[in-house]
Amino acid sequence: MRTQVAIIGAGPAGLLLSHLLHLRGVESVVLETRSREYVEKRVRAGVLEYPTTELLREVGLGERMDAEGLVHHGISLRFDGADHRIGFDDLLGKSITVYGQQEVVKDLIAARLRDGGELRFEVSETTVHDVSSDHPRVTFTDAAGVASELVCDVIAGCDGFHGISRPSIPEAVLTGHEHIYPFAWLGILAKAAPVRDELVYTRSERGFTLYSMRSPEITRLYLQVSPDTDLTEWPDDRIWAELHARMAIDGGEQVNEGPLLEKSVTPMRSFVASPMRHGRLFLAGDAAHIVPPTGAKGMNLAIADVKLLAEAFTALLKDNRSELVESYSDTALRRVWRAEHFSWFMTSMLHLDPAADEFQRQLQLSQLRYTASSTAAATSLAENYVGLPFS
């Protein structure tokens, strides 16, 4: 087999890259270990930044997002027994959209199949070769058990943190920067109507809580827990009781309860791989970086990466210009580190560190009070939250 761009991974990054390349007249093949059904149902992040929604509309992927997505014009920081709203519209004239990652994936798969895109699901034994040459290769076994080889000009590793792309880069070349947080999130998806139309980030003496939603009928909620939490110790009634206790404010609404559709524990960590390129193998999305979900940056960073890659690959393969592929890693990492800092800022400002003393806790409250009362501080938070313009 022969193509111009081999894309490993059919998440939002890989699928959007394939779509962007198609619009520029560049061929690609997408390889994915999971089934189509699995990737279309895989629940992940749901917050789309303003630049992300603008890009999706520009490339013909905004119709269902605009019809079904929930537009949010701000968020609330809940502390000191009260809500403190950060209004994005008031400060910036911009908004975010809550639209699940799985919905973005469905839209992308439909668009690629409509346009004749080659998506290969349920492949195995995927391996990259000759990435230092002008014609790298990807070998894999297809869904029918047939061993195959894909010769290409460049490879995009969009296969997530646990994929094969990043480990394919020699350890002597790649540097990994990692920070592990001393807590995790217990997340639930509940069949319960939201009582709010914007996200609420709560800092309480019992721990952090995030109140969000996926639709007018479904809420998504998170509790700060210990990294070694056993889900069997958290029956449904305990989860609801803790949510009520942490989110309680004088005169405030209660959280609607309902059947739990999903329950999981997610560790909190930050990770950045540098550089994001080795030869003709390029990393994008979670294959290159992980952010704690507090800042809602994960999927948006992946989309920013592949926007850069689509432009760089087009310049290389159609115009024989290499400056954009040469600068890809440096350009992408500038945005990555900004997002890492913002995600760390939101996480440290809202979570209770079990090792923190009273001095540190008072500093945390001071930061929250300043952010909520200062127009300059609130604007900085809003600017980072809704998303900085693409490079």
User: Is residue 297 flagged as an active site residue?
Assistant: yes
User: Which member of 51, 292, 293, 328 is catalytic?
Assistant: 293
Of the residues 50, 201, 211, 222, which is catalytic? 201
Catalytic residue among 50, 181, 211, 385: 385
Cβ within 8 Å of residue 359, ≥6 positions away: none
Partners of residue 148 on adjacent β-strands: 140
Contact criterion met (CB below 8 Å) for 156 and 146 = no
Instruction: List the catalytic residue out of 289, 297, 307, 351.
Output: 297
Token pair in block for residue 40: 């279309």
SS3 label, residue 321: coil
Catalytic one among 19, 22, 72, 278?
72
Q: In the chain, at which residue ranges do the beta strands (DSSP E only) sit?
A: 5-8, 28-31, 47-48, 70-72, 74-79, 82-87, 96-98, 118-120, 124-129, 137-141, 147-151, 154-157, 175-190, 200-204, 207-213, 219-225, 260-274, 277-278, 281-283, 289-290
Residue 293 designated active-site: yes
DSSP character at residue 65:
H
The catalytic site residues sit at 72, 201, 293, 297, 385
